[in-house]
Amino acid sequence: MTMRISIKDQYMPEFEKFLKTLPDDAIEIKNSLDDEINKRVEEYRSGKMKTTPFMDGLDEIRASLVSRL
């Protein structure tokens, strides 16, 4: 089962204590998507991310669709 929960900062110590009481293989903690989103935003802003303008390639798709009519 997969579950996503939000814990208020004030309760994190108690939650961490609870997690330590569980068997080692009982849970798998994954990073939130916030880290990945922030990484991609930074990559985009820095100019490192390869991007394509929205209109590029649409002419080919449009011509293909019109030829099918």
- Closest to 2 (Cα-Cα) out of 21, 29, 25, 24: 29
pLDDT in tens, 10-56: 999 999 999 999 998 998 887 778 888 988 889 888 988 777 777 77
CA angle 35, 25, 17 (to 5 degrees): 70
Q: What is the pLDDT of residue 10?
A: 96
- Is residue 42 a contact partner of residue 34, using CB atoms and an 8 Å limit? no
